[in-house]
């Protein structure tokens, strides 16, 4: 694992050099931006399960329901957008704003590598999010546009890569082990009522350092308590130089194992090192094995809103959790810098209208709404 983290650092540095946006440069939207938990067990295809979990269309299927899973209202996509509810306007809702998708790796008492975060650093960052009005949602909910967030709050997606022991484990009493990510998330939720204790864990073969029996019980515990499982390949290779067969084996074998242990398919996938294969379609789906509804990168900027016309669910940006240090340019690209930027520029941040069946935003942003979501749009 240490070698993987070192490689990850190199890849991320290269990504920065190649031109990721600085905080503040993506004003409004970036014209050049290309951007649940596992589904219930059934005889349906992975595509159908993933679509059910996310609200997004299954590959080759019909368009998804609108925000919150509602049926399409009888409003023309070209008709004038309706006025926002007074409460939504009062909350200064902006559901076309940016959403931080935070990316964590190892959680340890004493970090050893640049990608590591200490238990205290995680606690402090999550507590700060709670105090600043952020409301966690899963990667699948975000990808599918199912953002059921209280009015005035801001969605945030907490993602943990590599399924290392510091993320999760159960003690002899069946409770999350102290100082693990899950225990810390639940602690912050207890201390800050209204902070939803959910996160998405992108799994590799290690499965939190558990054996097969422990893993089966642990993964089911996570699902039962509202956490989401995602696919992150078996051995965490860079997919960029691999053959189609190799890419599909890495993803498919991991999906097979998750299904065997939980009875469910995953709905989202995160690229190891953020490295995309020669053809993204290889990662998107393989009939009979996996069919994702969103693919996550390892970039260093918040994501566009899923309702933005430029949002691409096959290229979703994430922000590395890190303080302002010189290494890897984290003074500009990591979570501390980006969260400060959004706090100082609230018009850039996604703020909920409190209604999962409408998409509210200032009238000046009307040209940014994706056509498929226009029937649910509201402006003020």
What would the pLDDT profile of 191-236 be if each residue is shown by its tens digit? 999 999 999 999 999 999 999 999 999 999 999 999 999 999 999 9
pLDDT in tens, 322-339: 988 877 778 888 999 999
> How high is the pLDDT of residue 300?
83
pLDDT in tens, 247-274: 999 999 999 999 999 999 999 999 999 9
Question: Residue 232's closest CA among 287, 265, 290, 272?
Answer: 272
Q: Which domains does the chain have, with CATH numbers?
A: 2-23+30-62+82-351 (3.20.20.370)
> How high is the pLDDT of residue 79?
82
Asked if 330 contacts 323 with a C-beta cutoff of 8 angstroms, the reply is yes
d(CA 145, CA 306): 6
> How high is the pLDDT of residue 73?
63
> How high is the pLDDT of residue 71?
63
pTM of the model: 0.85
> How high is the pLDDT of residue 26?
45
Residue by residue, DSSP assigns 146-198 as -----TT-EEEEEEEES--TTT--B-TTSSBPTTSHHHHHHHHHHHSTT----
**In degrees to the nearest 10, what's the CA dihedral of 193, 190, 147, 156?**
110
Question: Residue 85's closest CA among 374, 366, 367, 361?
Answer: 361
Average pLDDT of the segment spanning 132-153? 98
d(CA 237, CA 221): 28
d(CA 295, CA 314): 5
pLDDT in tens, 37-47: 343 333 343 33
> How high is the pLDDT of residue 1?
45
- Please report how many Cα atoms fall inside a 13 Å half-sphere around the Cα of residue 237, on the Cβ side: 15
pLDDT band at 77 (very low <50, low <70, confident <90, very high): low
Residue by residue, DSSP assigns 114-153 as TT-EEHHHHHHHHHHHHHTTEEEE-HHHHHTT-----TT-
Question: Residue 380's closest CA among 84, 20, 17?
Answer: 84
Instruction: State the first-to-last Cα distance of the chain, in angstroms, to the nearest integer.
Output: 50
Residue 280 has pLDDT above 80, yes or no: yes
> How high is the pLDDT of residue 59?
29
Q: Which of 6-10, 100-104, 298-302 has the lowest mean pLDDT?
A: 6-10
Residue 367 has pLDDT above 80, yes or no: yes
Rounded mean pLDDT of the chain?
A: 86
User: What percent of the chain is modeled with pLDDT above 70?
Assistant: 80
d(CA 111, CA 364): 45
Average pLDDT of the segment spanning 70-90? 82
The DSSP letter of residue 293 is: S
Q: Which long-range contacts (CB under 8 A, 24 or more apart) does 247-253 make?
A: 247/277, 247/282, 247/283, 248/282, 248/286, 248/289, 251/283, 251/286, 251/289, 251/290, 252/286, 252/289, 252/290
> How high is the pLDDT of residue 324?
84
Secondary structure class of 23 (helix, strand, coil): coil
Residue 53 has pLDDT above 60, yes or no: no
Secondary structure class of 26 (helix, strand, coil): coil
Q: Which long-range contacts (CB under 8 A, 24 or more apart) does 329-336 make?
A: 329/13, 329/16, 332/22, 332/23, 333/16, 333/20, 333/22, 333/23, 333/300, 333/301, 334/300, 335/100, 335/102, 335/125
């Amino acid at each position: 694992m240490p070698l993987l983290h070192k490689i990850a650092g190199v890849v991320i540095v290269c990504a920065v050099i190649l031109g990721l946006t600085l905080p503040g440069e993506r004003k409004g939207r970036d014209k050049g931006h290309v951007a649940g938990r596992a589904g219930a067990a059934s005889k349906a295809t992975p595509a159908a399960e993933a679509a059910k979990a996310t609200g997004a269309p299954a590959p080759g299927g019909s368009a998804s329901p609108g925000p919150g899973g509602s049926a399409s209202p009888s409003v023309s996509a070209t008709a004038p957008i309706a006025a926002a509810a007074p409460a939504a306007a009062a909350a200064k809702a902006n559901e076309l704003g940016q959403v931080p998708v935070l990316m964590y790796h190892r959680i340890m008492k004493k970090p050893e590598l640049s990608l590591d975060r200490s238990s205290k650093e995680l606690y402090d960052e999550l507590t700060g999010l709670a105090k600043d009005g952020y409301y966690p949602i899963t990667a699948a909910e975000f990808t599918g546009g199912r953002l059921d967030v209280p009015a005035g709050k801001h969605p945030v997606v907490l993602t943990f890569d590599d399924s290392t022991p510091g993320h999760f484990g159960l003690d002899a009493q069946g409770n999350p082990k102290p100082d693990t990510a899950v225990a810390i998330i639940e602690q912050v939720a207890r201390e800050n009522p209204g902070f939803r204790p959910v996160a998405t864990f992108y799994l590799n073969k290690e499965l939190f350092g558990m054996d097969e029996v422990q893993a089966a019980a642990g993964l089911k515990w996570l699902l039962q308590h509202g956490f989401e499982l995602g696919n992150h390949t078996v051995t965490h290779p860079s997919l960029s130089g691999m053959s189609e067969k190799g890419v599909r084996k890495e993803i498919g074998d991991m999906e097979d194992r998750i299904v065997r242990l939980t009875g469910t398919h995953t709905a989202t996938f995160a690229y190891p090192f953020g490295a995309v294969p020669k053809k993204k379609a290889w990662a998107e789906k393989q009939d009979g094995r996996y069919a994702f509804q969103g693919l996550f990168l390892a970039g260093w900027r918040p994501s566009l809103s899923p309702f933005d016309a430029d949002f691409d669910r096959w290229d979703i940006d994430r922000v590395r959790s890190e303080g302002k240090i010189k290494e890897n340019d984290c003074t500009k690209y990591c979570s501390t810098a980006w969260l400060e930027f959004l706090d100082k520029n609230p018009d850039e941040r996604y703020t909920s209208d409190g209604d999962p069946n409408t998409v509210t935003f200032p009238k000046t942003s009307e040209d940014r709404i994706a056509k498929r979501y226009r029937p649910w749009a509201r402006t003020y």
